[in-house]
Structure 1
Amino acid sequence: MKGALLINLGSPESPTPKDVKPYLDEFLMDKYVIDVPYLLRAFLVRGLILRKRPEKAAAAYAKVWTDEGSPLVVISKRMYEKVKPQANVPVALAMRYGNPSLMAGLQELQDKGVTEVLLLPLYPHHAMSSTVTVLDKAEEIRKKHFPNMKFTSVPAFYNKPDYIKNLSDSIQKHLNGFDYDHLLFSYHGLPERHIRKTDVTKSHCKIDGSCCNTPSPAHEFCYRHQCYETTKLVVKALGIPEGKYSQTFQSRLAGDKWLEPYTDVEVNKLPEKGIKNLAIVTPAFVADCLETLEEIAMEANHQFKEHGGENFLAVPCLNDDDEWCATVSKWINDWAK
């Protein structure tokens, strides 16, 4: 019997340092997130980062927390509730970190008699710290607890026509009535070394002005290329003229060289260029979360206006949009045939 598992990032149990600390520990100790040897990772995370970060992160979570809980988990559950009745096979929901756990999601499917699972990481673009860690952890759990299960995974869907249509339609709907001067595509950032590590050719990714536009097998796993392709396809679908949009990367950590240009730096510069009405879309996320609600809708909004901007719109993610939920259901049903 077949079934599907929707998988998103996850969230702390509450916006308190007590609950944020174990969540950050699980997240940052992941070898695909901070990809350095274990002892160095433990020193960085447990010896340095976790001393102060939980308090700061808890304060940020508290700004976006809802009566129902974490926005990411709440929205993911709403999406799941819409997908479930449209799918022809059992569907469960899991988070890579926190609850509901991958173990619980797979157990739920096994209890329903499922032996073949479609893993559907809710990340449009392939990355070590998202797609790879989800599939690796799921396989680790399968080997230990569900050895008779068989897995299939949905590859990055950054350029799938139905996804691009859903994303473009959603952006158009939310831009309706907002006379923007500029549309900024802000993607989650990654250390540049992650891009090079996922280069299957070991030589293509130069992270310059040309490699993402030069055909290569590396693009199947290249986060940077896939982000630029999503932007290109949405711009074409919406007919946005050259010069009225740009692309940046957000959420970097200090220390390493991360993908550029940086969202916060560029947002601060835009008013100087005469841009007074700014809209930002965050296509690396399918559900609104800390990075979209606090970092963009609150902090970027504030910074833009502090530097002379006037009107700001944070375009919501796809969330539990009906068309998007129908698309995910169709992917599951097409696989299950």
Structure 2
Amino acid sequence: MNKNKGILLVNLGTPDEPTAPAVKRFLSQFLHDHRVVDLTRWIWCPVLHGIILPRRSPKVAEKYQQIWMDEGSPLLVYSRRQKEKLEKKLTLPVELGMTYGNPSILSGIQALMQRGVTDITVLPLFPQYSGTTTGAVEDALEKALGKLETKPEWTFINSYHDHPLYIKALAKTVRQQWEREGQGDFLLCSYHGIPQRYADNGDIYPQHCVETTHLLSVELDLTEKQIGMSYQSRFGREEWIKPYTDKRLESMPEEGIKHLNVVTPAFSVDCLETLEEVAEECKSVFTHAGGKIFHYVPCLNDDDAHIEMMANLITKD
């Protein structure tokens, strides 16, 4: 690869601190994005600032406090480790950018340019494409580039939901968890949800999730009775894509599934939605419904197989 090439890894983002004011700043930026909430602004903004942010920020801050690491937010900690490992493997400049919060996409681009980079490969760490995630990265990237006097060349990686090395990396983490704690009756793939309306309007995210689940089942040699999928993290009152993770968990013990493994293929690093929502809240839902054993499979994070997959994505051309 040309010596002037560099890599920008992009994830969604995280609050700077596990405090209500920091969470409020982060959620305000996140929930203002039309890609995330497409309601008319004169309707949405009063609700967001008058009701949602004042109520949710303190509650979400408490959840962040439960998972916060010594080095900071798990999402940022693991993202930094990914950056360091990938830079070492490729011997190319690698920087981080977040769609919301810090470090920003603009600061990541500027850091690369200060290191002499003139050709940037942008890798959004969302395996399955959605307008709410990867699409939002594209919007933020174009906005950031518009603020620069001199723009670098850039290449954008849309998705990697079916990449063989991604599937193998997922399978590796599942097998490692089975070796540590035993294989359960069922493997549930829990993906972050989106409103059903978005899918009806053409967002291809659900199809990507279905394909990832199928490929993982093949790699692990699991039948339809041993693996399935659902969607978590719904927000608001409208219908989201189904099945819902919490509802699925409630029904499993009645189906004879008492020992459950849960993996979250849409998340490249552990974060609030995996460490608190899945590992804690979902476990509680399952056991309350009669489940006996619940094991969460950690995200790929900075696992060597994950870094190898990223390197392959970037250098395949």
Structure 2-normalised TM-score? 0.95
- Counterpart of 1:158 in structure 2 is 161
Spell out, residue by residue over 1:223-280, the C-alpha distance to the aligned partner (whole angstroms, 9 max, x if none).
Answer: 0000000000000010012211221100001221100110011111111222110110
Partner Cα separation in structure 2 for residue 146 and residue 234 of structure 1: 45
Shift of 1:289: 0.5
Shift of 1:47: 2.3
The answer as to whether partners of 1:20 and 1:54 remain within 8 angstroms in 2 is yes
Spell out, residue by residue over 1:266-319, the C-alpha distance to the aligned partner (whole angstroms, 9 max, x if none).
Answer: 111111222110110100101011001101100111121112111110000100
- Report whether the alignment pairs 1:98 with 2:101: yes
Partner Cα separation in structure 2 for residue 235 and residue 118 of structure 1: 31
- Counterpart of 2:260 in structure 1 is 278
The number of residues matched between the two structures is 313
Spell out, residue by residue over 1:92-115, the C-alpha distance to the aligned partner (whole angstroms, 9 max, x if none).
Answer: 111111111111101101101212
Partner Cα separation in structure 2 for residue 304 and residue 148 of structure 1: 50
The answer as to whether partners of 2:188 and 2:263 remain within 8 angstroms in 1 is yes
- Counterpart of 1:39 in structure 2 is 42
Partner Cα separation in structure 1 for residue 62 and residue 102 of structure 2: 20
Partner Cα separation in structure 2 for residue 287 and residue 254 of structure 1: 25
Structure 1-normalised TM-score? 0.90
- Report whether the alignment pairs 1:260 with 2:248: no
182, 188, 201: which one aligns with 2:186: 182
- Counterpart of 2:176 in structure 1 is 173
- Report whether the alignment pairs 1:109 with 2:150: no
- Report whether the alignment pairs 1:126 with 2:96: no
Partner Cα separation in structure 2 for residue 261 and residue 148 of structure 1: 43
Partner Cα separation in structure 2 for residue 305 and residue 244 of structure 1: 19
The amino acid across from 2:255 in the alignment is K
The answer as to whether partners of 1:6 and 1:121 remain within 8 angstroms in 2 is yes
- Give unmatched runs, 5+ long, in structure 1: 200-220
- Report whether the alignment pairs 1:233 with 2:236: no
SS at match of 1:10: coil
Partner Cα separation in structure 1 for residue 285 and residue 238 of structure 2: 24
Partner Cα separation in structure 1 for residue 29 and residue 155 of structure 2: 25
Q: How does 1:1-337 map to 2 (within 5 A)?
A: 1-176=4-179, 177-197=181-201, 199=202, 222-335=204-317
The answer as to whether partners of 1:14 and 1:20 remain within 8 angstroms in 2 is yes
Give structure 1 regions of 4+ aligned residues with deviation exceeding 3 angstroms. none
Partner Cα separation in structure 1 for residue 297 and residue 70 of structure 2: 22
Distance 1:184 1:262, change over 3 A: same
Shift of 1:27: 0.4
The answer as to whether partners of 1:116 and 1:150 remain within 8 angstroms in 2 is yes
SS at match of 1:54: helix
- Give unmatched runs, 5+ long, in structure 2: none
